Every structure is written in C-alpha cells, then in structure tokens.
C-alpha cells in the first residue's frame, strides 16, 4: 500500500502519491501494475 511504501522509505504519504502520479503520467500507465511490469521488463527490479 502507499502507506507501507511511505513508512518503509520514511517519506510522507503525499510524496508517495505524487511520485506514483508522476510515474503513471511519464509511462502512460493506467495503474501501479503497469508500472511494476515496466520496472520488471526494463530490469529495474528482479524476482
């Protein structure tokens, strides 16, 4: 959740929301799943 991300990174909830909105706009993503798929496909995360 956004709250968990904020807690883990020691940032505010609004900062998380701002960054997610920015990523969605830049990647033309409709949801956070599409952001995760992009990150995996481009090698930014591993399983």
- Torsion region of 8: left, alpha or beta (phi above 0 gives left; psi -120 to 50 gives alpha): alpha
Please report where in the chains the tokens 């990150």 appear, as a residue.
39
* Separation of alpha carbons 4 and 29, rounded Å: 21
| For the chain, domain boundaries | 2-41
Place of tokens 């609004």: 14
Q: Give residue-wise pLDDT tens across range 1-47.
A: 999 999 999 999 999 999 999 999 999 999 999 999 999 999 998 77
């Amino acid at each position: 959740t956004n709250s968990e991300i904020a807690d883990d990174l020691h940032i505010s909830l609004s900062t998380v929301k701002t960054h997610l909105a920015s990523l969605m706009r830049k990647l033309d993503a409709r949801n956070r799943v599409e952001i995760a798929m992009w990150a995996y496909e481009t090698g930014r995360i591993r399983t």
